Amino acid sequence: MQSAVDVKGQTTAVEAKRVQKRRGTWQLHVMLLPALIIVLIFQYVPMLGLVMAFQDYEPWLGFLHSPWVGLEHFKTMFEYEDARQVIWNTLVISTLKIIFNLGVPLAFALLLNEVYVMKFKRTVQTIVYLPHFLSWVILGGILIDMLSPEGGIVNRFLSVFGVEPIFFLGDNDWFRTVVVVTDVWKECGFNTIVFLAALTSINPSLYEAAIVDGANRWQQTIYITLPSMLPIIIVVGTLSLGNILNAGFDQILNLYNPLVYKTGDIIDTYVYRVGLLNGDFSYATAVGLFKSVISFILVVTGYRLAYKYANYKIF
């Protein structure tokens, strides 16, 4: 937009305002500089480092001189039995988490919405939000102790019913269940917040009309509450699509052990073990890149769907 000059050669009032508005743009660039530098160094430079995935990276040769191997590491990945297992574990665990982290908080929000004693409602909310703020190190420490087969409190409780001690964190039949249940337990309260907010924004006259028509609370839920909640359910659901390859690094690393690698090892923990612990930089980077690319596609698809079906915009 170049300056529009009127016939007398004077800038119009609107234009004066616009020039005023745009004054001192250099200051704005300066203000962005620190954040920009940090992001360039710690986010964008590592993206360049991804070339390692196509090399046999040798630390003493660096990116510039390490031999190129093309897609060899990616081929290896799909040939390795354990890599395929890891991808499968990731998909199973995260799919279960996505379903339950959507369904349970939604149900929980609906139940809380039926509580009219404000003090009770607020107390319950305060308590269930809490686990979100505790780290997986703390919760891992607590859970390892509680789920221990040698006198952990859960097994002691089960023994009352004559159940033999179960090694929850060391048993491949149990590990995924424990991971999903404890994750839902930790995040349920926090994920409820957004649904509760959506519930309060439903137009009360809809319910009044339904009551006049003789609808009971259950019918109101089915025909008014859930349809009104649909946009937010779609947003949360589609956005979580991008997380399908994030099965929970922090959680798994704090709960698992070699006994349950078969069902519990996920892409991120695998990359950590292979890459940083075994020093196989190139192969681990290739696995990581595979994950990043698929995640990228899913995140973008998720945003698109959220925008299309629920008019959601991130900024």
Partner 1 sequence: MHHHYQKSLSYKLFTVFNYTLLTIIAVLCLLPLIHILAVSFSGSAAATANLVGLWPVDFTLDAYEKTIGNENFLRSLWNSFLRVVLGTVISMGVMLCAAYPLSKSDDAFRGRKLYMWIFVFTMLFHGGLVPTYMVVTKLGLTDTIWALILPPAVSAFNLILLVNFFRTSVPKSLEEAALMDGANHFKIFWKIYLPISVPAIATISLFTMVFHWNSWFDGLIYMSDVKHYPLSTFLQTIIVQQDFTKMSVDAETLKNLSERTVKAAQIFIAALPMLIVYPFVQKFFVKGIVLGAEKE
Interactions with partner 1, residue window 223-282 (CB under 8 A):
232, 235, 249-250, 253-254, 268, 271-272, 275-276, 281
* Residue choice 100, 185, 223, 307 for contact with partner 1 (CB under 8 A): 185
Nearer to partner 1, 98 or 194 (CB): 194
Contact with partner 1 (CB under 8 A): which of 87, 93, 106, 139? 139
* Separation between Cα atoms, residue 54 and residue 167, nearest integer Å: 41
Assess 205 for contact with partner 1 (CB under 8 A): no
Q: Is 177 a binder of partner 1 (CB under 8 A)?
A: no
Among 4, 5, 36, 163, the residue binding partner 1 under the rule CB under 8 A is: 36
Contact 5, 16 (CB under 8 A): no
Residue 139 has what DSSP assignment? H
101-to-143, 172, 180, 264 alpha-carbon distances in Å = 20, 22, 9, 19
- Do residues 248 and 106 lie in contact, with contact meaning Cβ atoms separated by under 8 Å? no
Please count the CA atoms within 13 angstroms of the CA of 202 that sit on its side-chain side: 22
3-state secondary structure of 93: helix
Q: How far is the CB of 81 from partner 1 (least distance, A)?
A: 22
| Touching partner 1, residues 147-166 (CB under 8 A) | 150-151, 153, 156
- In the complex with partner 1, which residue's Cβ is closer, 7 or 103? 103
Quick one: 9 or 59, whose CB is closer to partner 1? 59
Nearest approach, Cβ of 110 to partner 1 (angstroms)? 10
Structure tokens at 80: 């390795």
Out of 7, 13, 14, 35, the residue judged to bind partner 1 by CB under 8 A:
35
Residue number with CB closer to partner 1 (93 or 139): 139
* Binding test (CB under 8 A) with partner 1, winner from 217, 262, 304, 308: 217
Task: State the residue for tokens 């924004």.
Answer: 201
Q: Locate all alpha helices (DSSP H) within the chain, ordered by sequence.
A: 13-22, 25-39, 45-48, 62-65, 72-79, 81-113, 118-129, 136-146, 153-159, 175-200, 204-212, 217-220, 226-241, 249-255, 261-264, 267-271, 281-310
**Residues in 98-137 at the binding interface with partner 1, rule: CB under 8 A:** 108, 111-112, 114-116, 120, 123-124, 126-131, 133-135, 137
Q: Does 289 bind partner 1 (CB under 8 A)?
A: yes
For partner 1, which residue of 140, 245, 252, 264 counts as binding (CB under 8 A)? 140
What end-to-end distance do the CA atoms of the chain give, in Å? Answer: 24
Binding mask 60-99 for partner 1 (x = CB under 8 A): ----------------------------------------
Distance CA 190, CA 128 (A): 8
